Structure 1
Amino acid sequence: MKCIEVTLGDDKIFELGCEFISQLRELESSCFEYHWSEEQFRLGLEKKAFYVLGYVENGFLVGYLAYSLVLKEMEVLNLGVHPDFRRRGIGRALMLNLMHKCRQMEIKRGLLDVKETNHPAISLYESLGFKKVGVRKKYYPDTREDAHLYDLDFDGF
């Protein structure tokens, strides 16, 4: 799989806008079987229904984190790292960046769901202080796997 080249400054993590939709879709398709359409990305970003952080390594978009903000809650929608760049701390860096933003905005709670078999992601989220609070049976449309629900109380962290 090829990586997506981008032209930016020295920042590794930055907010992505609509101009990055094609790169986002290509990156997402290398990360997941089930992915968002161009229209879903465009409408979500245009209407600010969600936001996306990107991670650049040597000029290539290799990771992204989509999240939403509603009142004082943040929800992680998608976290993806190109397969050739996994296990290098990119997912952690994106999550820590988002958590820092949340604290600055006085967000009170963080939420996410994760496939029951995604052990690396579960380990990451738990190491960051997320606690398992429930299960949604057969939640994911691509695999029919259960979703494990996680919660983070920013006040208690």
Structure 2
Amino acid sequence: MKSAEVTSGIQKIFDLGPDNLSQLRALESLCFEYHWTEEQFRLGLERNAFFVFGYEEQGILVGYLAYSIVLDEMEVLNLGVHPRFRRKGIGRALMLELMHKCREMNVTRGLLDVKESNAPAIGLYESLGFKQVGIRKKYYPDTREDALLYDLDFSQ
């Protein structure tokens, strides 16, 4: 995949790779109780099984978005923002960058799941046009919460 870099003042969105694993793992451990291992990240990135955008502010990684693209379908795998930087538009900026990339690549559909208790994330996804299409009961291993399934048709 072509490298993405969007810079605005002192904020920057860019592609993360295996060289960024320690920063990525440190950020993810601040964002989630249940998180991916370094090995999962490394193998996924090295094998292009998924891709990750990072959001840097003043030289510090404060947000990331992991996603996969298969044929014409995109799936958001993880979106994390450092707890001290939440509710500042970082998740929205990462999602908008991904949606822009998807349109450039002629991706027609976007998918994601979110914990039913995560009202801020649900509000973000719905504000971007994602529609709830289903539920997976007791999906998340850390809380046994239901996952709400969302879909976005990029052709509309």
Cα distance in 2, alignment partners of residues 17 and 38 from structure 1: 12
Question: Secondary structure of 1:33's partner?
Answer: coil
Cα distance in 2 for partners of 1:17, 1:71 equals 21
Task: Give the Å deviation of 1:10.
Answer: 5.9
Match of 1:35 in 2: 35
CA distance in 1, matches of 2:89, 2:11: 16
Structure 1 match to 2:141: 141
Q: Measure, in 2, the Cα distance between the counterparts of 1:102 and 1:147.
A: 24
Gaps of 5+ in 1: 1-8
Give the corresponding residue for 2:119: 119
Which secondary structure does the structure 2 equivalent of 1:45 belong to? helix
> How is 1:87-126 mapped onto 2 (pairs within 5 angstroms)?
87-126=87-126
SS of 1:12's equivalent in the other structure is strand
Answering whether residue 81 of structure 2 is matched by residue 67 of structure 1, we say no
TM-score normalised to structure 1 length: 0.93
Residues in 1 aligned to 2:95 and 2:125: alpha-carbon distance in whole angstroms: 9
Counterpart code for 1:87: R
Identity %: 77
Does the CA-based 8 Å contact 2:11-2:58 persist in structure 1? Answer: no
Alpha-carbon separation, structure 2, partners of 1:73 and 1:108? 6
Deviation at 1:34, TM superposition (A): 0.3
Asked if structure 1 preserves the Cα contact closer than 8 Å seen for 2:10 and 2:58, the reply is no
Q: How many residues get paired?
A: 148
Report the CA distance between 1:116 and its aligned residue: 0.2
1:25 lines up with 2:25 in the alignment? yes
Gap regions ≥5 residues in structure 2: 1-8
Inter-partner Cα distance in structure 1 for 2:73 and 2:155: 12
The alignment yields a C-alpha RMSD, in angstroms, of 1.1
What amino acid maps onto 1:101 in structure 2? K
Deviation at 1:49, TM superposition (A): 0.3
- C-alpha distance in 2, partners of 1:22/1:137? 33
Structure 1 outlier segments of 4+, above 6 Å? none
TM-aligned CA deviation for residue 20 of structure 1: 0.4
| Deviation of 1:11 (Å) | 6.0
Mapped contact 2:63–2:79 kept (Cα < 8 A): yes
Alignment pair present for 1:54 and 2:71: no
